[in-house]
């Protein structure tokens, strides 16, 4: 286990009325420039849209508008019980929200900027600040930013997993410990792991538990997760509210297609070249997967997974046919 250095004085990005990333300490800035995970401070503590009262109103609105696919929740210790809400469970979800101190609950409200405009300013400001930090037009690099609220009971935890997004987790209230792993370390994640993950195969298990970098977050702290960085999260002794700003980057969508093509190549017995080593090979692989992808994707899932889903179906049919012959 590596304990991440806590932030020290050294404001690199002065705040303003709605400043989000307010401080990246020099040692963390070095990690940022190396595309590693890093800690930062944020200025959204006490934001009026993220009190428990306002979140409850937001949840009621989401359920009333039948946005069941945007409300994901679990009760009890195991993530096995986690599921999307539906018309039958709407009342239970409200009860979970009312009994957070005792419910052993974990609640995820996703794409909340589509429900209320209160988060739009946050996203626009966030693009500006990230563009300053990275000296690039981050909005132009982004297909969509997922604005997600996590509300969880004392000691609730999230299982080891990885995400497709370039993620910034902001702790709003309560405390939380994030265990993050380096996605470019082959002892943590192999090429084959990533290929399988982009083909939506069952989730991989941790390979190198001791290689986690530990970020203890208090309100006002944030942590950046690089794309595909495996992580698991443990809540502190109070109810926790966190905001996640997850950017779905065009470059990550392209890499996803390369991983998907590599999955097929590996099944055929090749040892494929990972993404970003050969522009020519990457282009051919992206074109191949795009042939199978939705022409006019409406959702993020269709952008990233529609080609892979079709290919998998065909590979399954081919397999069944070979077994019958």
226 or 307, CB closer to Fe ion?
Answer: 226
Q: Count the alpha carbons within 13 Å of 79 in the hemisphere toward its beta carbon.
A: 12
Q: For residue 217, give both structure tokens.
A: 């977050």
Q: What minimum distance in Å lies between the beta carbon of 7 and Fe ion?
A: 22
In 3D, which of 192, 258, 279, 184 has the Cα closest to residue 226? 184
210 in Cβ contact with 188 (< 8 Å): no
Q: What minimum distance in Å lies between the beta carbon of 29 and Fe ion?
A: 23
Could you count the other beta carbons within 10 Å of the beta carbon of residue 237?
Answer: 9
Which residues within the stretch 163-192 sit at the binding site for Fe ion (CB under 5 A)?
Answer: 163
The answer to whether 82 contacts Fe ion (rule: CB under 5 A) is no
Which residues within the stretch 145-164 sit at the binding site for Fe ion (CB under 5 A)?
Answer: 163
Q: What minimum distance in Å lies between the beta carbon of 217 and Fe ion?
A: 14
Q: How far apart are CA 260 and CA 198, in angstroms?
A: 6
Q: Count the alpha carbons within 13 Å of 73 in the hemisphere toward its beta carbon.
A: 25
Which residues within the stretch 274-293 sit at the binding site for Fe ion (CB under 5 A)?
Answer: none
The answer to whether 238 contacts Fe ion (rule: CB under 5 A) is no
Print the binding letters for residues 20-49 with Fe ion: x by CB under 5 A, - otherwise. Answer: ------------------------------
Q: What minimum distance in Å lies between the beta carbon of 230 and Fe ion?
A: 9
Binding residues for Fe ion, rule CB under 5 A, total 1
The answer to whether 216 contacts Fe ion (rule: CB under 5 A) is no
Which residues have C-beta within 8 Å of that of residue 236, sequence separation ≥ 6?
154, 155, 174, 175, 176, 177
25 or 229, CB closer to Fe ion?
Answer: 229
Helix and strand element counts for the chain (H, E): 8, 14
Which residues face 106 on adjacent strands? 74, 152
In 3D, which of 67, 22, 52 has the Cα closest to residue 40? 22
163 or 238, CB closer to Fe ion?
Answer: 163
78 or 101, CB closer to Fe ion?
Answer: 78
126 or 312, CB closer to Fe ion?
Answer: 126
Q: Which residue is nearest to Fe ion (CB)?
A: 163
In 3D, which of 161, 167, 201, 189 has the Cα closest to residue 274? 189
242 or 262, CB closer to Fe ion?
Answer: 242
58 or 162, CB closer to Fe ion?
Answer: 162
Residues that bind Fe ion (CB under 5 A): 163
């Amino acid at each position: 286990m590596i304990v991440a250095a806590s932030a020290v004085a050294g404001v690199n990005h002065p705040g303003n009325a709605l400043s989000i990333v307010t401080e990246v300490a020099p040692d963390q800035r070095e990690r940022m420039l190396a595309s590693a995970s890093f800690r930062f401070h944020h200025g959204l503590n006490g934001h009026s849209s993220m009190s428990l009262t306002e979140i409850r109103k937001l949840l009621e609105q989401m359920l009333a508008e039948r946005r069941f696919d945007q409300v994901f929740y679990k009760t009890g210790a195991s993530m096995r019980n986690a599921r999307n809400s539906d018309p039958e469970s709407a009342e239970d979800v409200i009860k979970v929200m009312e009994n957070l101190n005792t419910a052993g609950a974990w609640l995820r409200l996703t794409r909340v900027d589509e429900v209320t405009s209160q988060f739009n300013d946050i996203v626009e400001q966030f693009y500006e600040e990230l563009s300053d930090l990275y000296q690039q037009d981050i909005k132009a690099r982004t297909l969509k930013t997922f604005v997600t609220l996590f509300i969880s009971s004392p000691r609730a935890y999230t299982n080891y997993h990885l995400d497709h997004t370039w993620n910034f987790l902001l702790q709003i209230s309560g405390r939380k410990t994030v265990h993050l792993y380096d996605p470019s370390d082959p002892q943590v994640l192999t090429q084959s792991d990533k290929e399988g993950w982009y083909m939506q195969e069952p989730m991989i298990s941790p390979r190198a538990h001791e290689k986690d970098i530990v970020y203890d977050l208090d309100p006002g702290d944030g942590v950046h997760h690089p794309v595909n960085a495996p992580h698991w999260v443990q809540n502190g002794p109070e109810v926790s509210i966190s905001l996640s700003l997850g950017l779905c980057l065009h470059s990550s969508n392209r890499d996803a297609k390369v991983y998907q093509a590599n999955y097929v190549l590996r099944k055929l017995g090749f040892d494929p070249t990972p993404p970003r080593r050969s522009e020519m090979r990457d282009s051919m692989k992206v074109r191949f997967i795009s042939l199978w992808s939705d022409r006019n994707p409406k959702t993020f899932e269709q952008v990233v997974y529609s080609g892979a889903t079709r290919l998998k179906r065909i590979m399954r049919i081919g397999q069944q046919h070979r077994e019958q012959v």
